[in-house]
Amino acid sequence: MDEIVSSKSKVVSERPTREEAEEAVKVLIRWAGDDVTRPGLVGTPDRVCRAFEEYYKGYREDPYELLSRTFDETDGYDEMVVLTNISFDSHCEHHLAPIIGKAHVAYLPESKVVGISKLARLVDIYGKRMQIQEKMTSQIANTLQSVLEPKGVAVVIEAAHECMTTRGVYKPGVKMVTSRMLGAFREDGATRREFLSMVKCII
């Protein structure tokens, strides 16, 4: 049994064996119309499984534990903490197609701050799961709000979705922008505008 982290709680799920996963990849290759025994594809099931371990490693990491170490010696710092252009890659839960984008994350401390690398890692934890962008945006913001209890949190994500650039409607160059504003960023227009001017996003 492997623990798979889902949002705040840990949900234990029965995970297939590696052998079962590789057999499933072989089935999909055959279904696509190719021969799994030809030289170029013999090692593909193993490579795909190893890639999946990398693509979806966020299920095996706990975002709340990541943020558990905080600091309160800030000499009264009470302005925004903003990290912009956090690159990430994810996969859409509908087609398993790549989502490539950037996240901009900010919070207004009440008393606790966290190491800035943790903000980037938080984006990666939620990115390395099967996602839709709206949910990922909310998860990042809600987790920061829950753990740090700041005066406010703001998250903006802009990303290209290959499920609509390489299939379906075939619209290359299109980006989706989502935002989640909590606390002061939602209630105070000046605070929100200051953040958006920093990330150069127009919502």
Name 6's bridge partners.
9
Q: What is the pLDDT along the chain (203 residues), one digit of tens a residue?
A: 344 454 544 555 688 999 999 999 999 999 999 999 999 999 999 999 999 999 999 999 999 999 999 988 788 888 999 999 999 999 999 999 999 999 999 999 998 999 999 999 999 999 999 999 999 999 999 999 999 999 999 999 999 999 999 999 999 999 999 999 999 999 999 999 999 999 875 44
Instruction: Point out the catalytic residue in the list 19, 94, 134, 187.
Output: 94
Rounded to 5 degrees, what are φ and ψ at 75?
55, 40
pTM of structure: 0.90
The angle formed by the CA atoms of residues 73, 123 and 176, to the nearest 5 degrees, is 130
For residue 94, indicate whether it is catalytic.
yes
For residue 91, indicate whether it is catalytic.
no
For residue 201, indicate whether it is catalytic.
no
Instruction: Point out the catalytic residue in the list 92, 104, 131, 139.
Output: 92
Domains of the chain: 2-55 (1.10.286.10), 71-199 (3.30.1130.10)
For residue 104, indicate whether it is catalytic.
no
For residue 131, indicate whether it is catalytic.
no
Instruction: Point out the catalytic residue in the list 95, 162, 194, 201.
Output: 95
